Amino acid sequence: MHDQAAAVSGWISRRGSIELPSYGTSMFPLIVEGDISEFMPVDSHNIRVGQVYLFVSNEGLLVGHRLLHVIQEEHENQYIFKGDTNIFPDTAVSLDQILGEWTSVQRKQRRRPRDHWQLRLLSWLALHIHEWPKLMRWYISVKKL
């Protein structure tokens, strides 16, 4: 595990959660650049497709994306994530690369838990509307976000 990921993992273990600023548009509009996302420890027995997790990519980057698939292999599962506005999924990662489970987002002075109706609606749209990534990418380009 990379140094930054080890530090984040250690922080979550010691403190019970970590708050990190968001960069980019891959999770728009659920998470917007500048939002503060909170992540809690991962329960490895309760990892759910559709939930957002913090993981360290194979390139060593910290990424918060939605779990799309779990590929069950002989020795260990592989986890496939994808940003809600990304066309293609991320490269598969192993369980030890998953650092935290997304629990809330703070935008400006307002904190919303992941089970807030607006966030649940955005999650549902991202999971069930096939054209969602293209629509959001178009919106981002028009608004120049």
* Residue 42, token pair as written in the block: 């991962």
* pLDDT value of residue 73: 85
Q: Which residues pair with 79 in a beta bridge?
A: 70, 93
Does 140 have pLDDT greater than 70?
A: yes
- Whether 120 shows a pLDDT value over 90: the answer reads yes
pTM of the model: 0.93
- pLDDT above 70 (res 106): yes
d(CA 129, CA 11): 36
Domain ranges of the chain: 3-143
**Ramachandran sector of residue 50 (left: φ over 0; alpha: ψ -120 to 50; beta: rest):** left
User: Cα–Cα distances in Å, from 44 out to 37, 48, 99, 122?
Assistant: 20, 10, 10, 25
How far apart CA 103 and CA 111 sit, in angstroms, is 10
Mean pLDDT of the chain: 94
- Per-residue pLDDT of 27-84, as tens digits, reads 999 999 999 999 999 999 999 999 999 999 999 999 999 999 999 988 899 999 999 9
Is the pLDDT at 2 greater than 70? The verdict is no
CATH topology of domain 3-143: Umud Fragment, subunit A (2.10.109)
pLDDT of residue 1: 55
Q: Give the CA count within 13 Å in the CB-facing half-sphere of 48.
A: 7
- Give pLDDT, residue 143: 87
Kindly state the percentage of the chain with pLDDT values over 70. 98
- Dihedral sign, Cα of residue 66, residue 71, residue 72, residue 77: negative
